[in-house]
Structure 1
Amino acid sequence: MNKNPLSVNEAIKKLEYYCSYQDRCYKEVIAKLKTLGMFQTAIDHILTHLSENNFLNEERFAKSFARGKHKFKHWGKRRIEQELKFRDISSHNIKTALKEIETDYLTNFYNLAEKKWQTLTDTSLEKKKRRWTDYLLRKGYETHLIFDFLKELST
């Protein structure tokens, strides 16, 4: 906690900047405000201000989160959905966010799956399949995609 607590206006300015350089969810903003030593009534007021002035938008956050994690970390839909739920994002916004990645989803999956398969150097085919499958499951890809691709590799 700060020795000199911030005024509500100072906290608003600080949080406007915090939300403007990266999309944030409510949970992150509330945590930030608590670390600044703000009381619940001030937190409520600041959240209202940030929402009304479009600094804080849950749908925009969910969409950019999904696009970013899929594009840069190559996460699948299940992992993205799980992470958004952890951040208390509504199911409607999660569905909207997952629609953002539909166009590149299968292409990215096949590229990642192929690349990973080529990099594994296990001598046992069963061990290689297991490590490859575990990797893609951790990334959050659906089992039916993984096993369909595995069938293609086997033929």
Structure 2
Amino acid sequence: MNSDKKLFTFEEIKQKLVNYCVYQDRCHAEVEQKMREFVLIPEAKEEILLYLMKENYLNEERFTRSYIRGKFYIKNWGKTKIKINLKQKGITEKLISTCFDEIDENDYLNIITKIYGNYEGKLKGLQNYQKKTKTIKYLLNKGFEYETILQVIEN
């Protein structure tokens, strides 16, 4: 047995995982990762997961919606970057698409416009086309779609 894993009773582990989920919305992958810190048989893991879902501590849709709102409105990530990161967390394409209604289309365009203006304004001593190219690359790295970026620049 691994000596670095802590020994707790089933109820203690269950309570720790409840607290983990209450602190912040989590996805299944994060909870399963957290479970690896404890010595648990597969049946116990399954029982805890079922309990967390039944009591609504673990809700994949709520997690996805919260994640999308946070990454867009706080970190100003584009839909592409958000989608890639959610897929890495094991969220399905269908659920991701359903939850993207959390981002208001006007807000999306406004954020791109704002970031474009701020970033381009910081670039000094470059030709206009160089500024435009660098800014587009920057926005692509933030996860915004090329077509949407161009649409914003045209206006």
What TM-score results when the alignment is normalised by the length of structure 2? 0.89
Corresponding position of 2:94: 92
Identity %: 36
Write out per-residue CA displacement over residues 26-62 of structure 1, whole angstroms, 9 at most, x where no aligned residue: 0000000012232322111110000000000000000
- Cα distance, 1:105 vs. partner? 1.4
In the alignment, the residues of structure 1 paired with residue 100 and residue 121 of structure 2 have an alpha-carbon distance, to the nearest angstrom, of: 28
Superposition CA RMSD, Å: 1.7
Q: Give, as a single letter, the amino acid of the residue that structure 2 aligns with 1:129.
A: K
Q: Which runs of 5+ in 2 are unaligned?
A: none
The answer to whether the aligner puts 1:10 opposite 2:15 as a matched pair is: no
- Cα distance, 1:120 vs. partner? 1.8
What TM-score results when the alignment is normalised by the length of structure 1? 0.89
Of the three residues 45, 48, 51, the one matched with 2:47 is: 45
Of the three residues 139, 146, 151, the one matched with 1:148 is: 151
In the alignment, the residues of structure 1 paired with residue 154 and residue 55 of structure 2 have an alpha-carbon distance, to the nearest angstrom, of: 51
Q: Give, as a single letter, the amino acid of the residue that structure 2 aligns with 1:100.
A: E
- Cα distance, 1:3 vs. partner? 5.7
The answer to whether the aligner puts 1:81 opposite 2:88 as a matched pair is: no
Q: Which moved more, 1:67-76 or 1:106-115?
A: 106-115
- Cα distance, 1:130 vs. partner? 2.4
In the alignment, the residues of structure 2 paired with residue 50 and residue 68 of structure 1 have an alpha-carbon distance, to the nearest angstrom, of: 23
Corresponding position of 2:68: 66
CA contact (8 A) 1:66 1:80 kept: yes
- Cα distance, 1:131 vs. partner? 1.7
CA contact (8 A) 1:122 1:128 kept: no
Q: How many residues align?
A: 152
- Cα distance, 1:124 vs. partner? 3.2
Q: Which moved more, 1:16-25 or 1:29-38?
A: 29-38
* Partner secondary structure for residue 56 of structure 2: coil
CA contact (8 A) 2:120 2:135 kept: yes
Of the three residues 115, 119, 123, the one matched with 1:112 is: 115
In the alignment, the residues of structure 1 paired with residue 142 and residue 23 of structure 2 have an alpha-carbon distance, to the nearest angstrom, of: 27
* Partner secondary structure for residue 123 of structure 1: coil
Corresponding position of 2:127: 124
Q: Which runs of 5+ in 1 are unaligned?
A: none
